[in-house]
Amino acid sequence: MSFDDPWVLVLLPLAAWPLWSASGAALVNGWMAYAPKDAASRAVGWALRVAASLALAALVAAMAGPHLPEYTVKRVGQGAEIVLVLDRSRSMDQGFAPGGRAPPPGGNTQQTLDYYFSQSPARLRESKGKVARRLLADFTAKRPDDSFALVVFSTLPMRVLDFTQRQDALQAAIAAGDIGRGLSETNIGLALDAALAMFDARPYTGSRIVLLVSDGGDRVDPESRERLARTLRKERVSLYWIYLRSANSPGLKAGADDSPDAINSVPELMLNRFFESLQTPYHPYEASDAQALERAIEDVNRQEKLPVVYDDLVPRRELAPWLDGLALACVLMLLAARLAQVRQWA
């Protein structure tokens, strides 16, 4: 047990005052001297004195701020350490439909119109970022043994949440990204640097994942490529990229007839080719609509369930409310005895 203000405990000797103070004057009655000794009355009297002393001691101790300090315990579960890297650029505020999910192939004009009219207005208006946050919230809720961290990025990365297993904090951090509008540029290289830095000086206890959710690529300079590749090998991190494919996007795979110059002009293709050249596990996913994104996240959820050892932080526990409750119970007992006291002989 620890105290916020231990100096208050010097007042504890005052709690002994009810034990040594004189009791109230007895009612005047000539026959009291002839009355036999009443052991029950003596016991009640001492019980009331002890209650008063206990109330004072509990109040003094409560004012000192008693608490049990936080501590960590080792736990073993099935899961991973996952850093969620979520794109917060302006393009993520755009919706999947109608540019994302294509209508049924080979259909005529009427079938195409029927397809688009079958999509609910809410689904058509829902942005890629909103869908991604909702599915990531469900994904994290299904993995209670995992430790999650969150990085959002556009021009610069922002470390929103360090590794934690507290679902309330994690869900709040994911939902917080739904405020305001994103910037027009992205820098995936800096975002991955910030995500990998979270593993620095952290003991290796199980699977490690960086889950990148973005709707665009980026040109990473050679120095950053070398640094990322070295850090991924050093920290033994697996990279997952869920690519949210927008309208007119070429995707992550180049066509057979695409020239090298055409490939080098598309950031998504260049970034995917760089990830494929890494000497660490890499898993790309393309999602052109909410359903494809959900399938990609479910596939990630089925993987990376190896045993993991982690430190669980048990938060500090305040003891002052319990002491206040004890003092209140003692005071109520004294009040009840006071109300039942006989003040004069009939």
- Same domain, yes or no, for 208 and 322? no
CATH number at residue 302: 3.40.50.410
Local structure of residue 127 (DSSP, 8 states): B
- Same domain, yes or no, for 193 and 287? yes
- Same domain, yes or no, for 233 and 327? no
Q: For the whole model, what pTM was predicted?
A: 0.61
Report the candidate in 149, 165, 161, 140 with the shortest Cα–Cα distance to residue 309: 165
* Beta-bridge mates of residue 68: 317
- Same domain, yes or no, for 205 and 308? yes
- Same domain, yes or no, for 118 and 76? yes
Residue 345 domain flag = no
Residue 344 domain flag = no
pLDDT digits (tens, 9 = 90+) for 81-139: 889 998 887 777 666 544 444 444 444 444 433 443 444 444 445 777 788 888 888 88
- Same domain, yes or no, for 76 and 49? no
Q: In this prediction, what percent of the chain has a pLDDT beyond 70?
A: 73
Residue 282 domain flag = yes
pLDDT digits (tens, 9 = 90+) for 294-305: 888 888 777 666
Residue 87 domain flag = yes
In the chain, the number of structural domains is 2
Full domain range(s) for residue 23: 2-69+316-339
Say if CB 131 and CB 166 are below 8 A apart.
no
CA distance 159 to 147: 15
Report the candidate in 232, 231, 84 with the shortest Cα–Cα distance to residue 159: 84
Residue 53 domain flag = yes
